[in-house]
Amino acid sequence: MIYVAFLVFLGIVAALSATFFPAISLSAVEAPAAAAGSSSVAGTAGHLTAGDVAAYQSLFFHAAVVQAVCSGLVAGKLADGTLRGGVKHVAALLSLAHLGFWLI
């Protein structure tokens, strides 16, 4: 169950990185050009630059690392009864996180 929850988290991050952030950064560029002078909601929807997208991806990567460590320790406690048993789960989840962000 812990691995499935972690993969769901990586899937949501991948979906945000692949579709949502590029669309928001593109709309932030196109909206002022399309509605110059008008006070529409589209012009204030977002000012997301490429640097902001990189910052969000870095934030998500660090969140995935923290979740991998904590979830791995919990999986070890549930499976083996000790936190020391969670080290193998931490390694597996960290590997999944690195692979997932390498593919994104």
Tokens of 1: 């169950």
Task: Give the amino acid at 32.
Answer: P
Residue with tokens 């979830």: 71
* Better-scored residue on pLDDT, 9 or 104: 9
Q: Please write the tens of the pLDDT for every residue from 15-70.
A: 988 888 877 777 766 655 555 555 554 444 456 777 788 888 899 999 999 999 99
- Give pLDDT, residue 32: 56
Q: Nearest to residue 65, comparing CAs of 1, 27, 9? A: 9
DSSP 16: I
Contact indicator for 43, 30 with CB cutoff of 8 Å: no
DSSP 66: H
Q: Please write the tens of the pLDDT for every residue from 55-84.
A: 888 999 999 999 999 999 999 999 988 888
- Give pLDDT, residue 22: 78
Give Cα 80 to chain centroid, integer Å: 29
In the predicted structure, residue 8 carries a pLDDT above the cut 50: yes
Confidence band, pLDDT 50/70/90 cuts, at residue 98: very high
Contact indicator for 17, 57 with CB cutoff of 8 Å: yes
* Better-scored residue on pLDDT, 52 or 99: 99
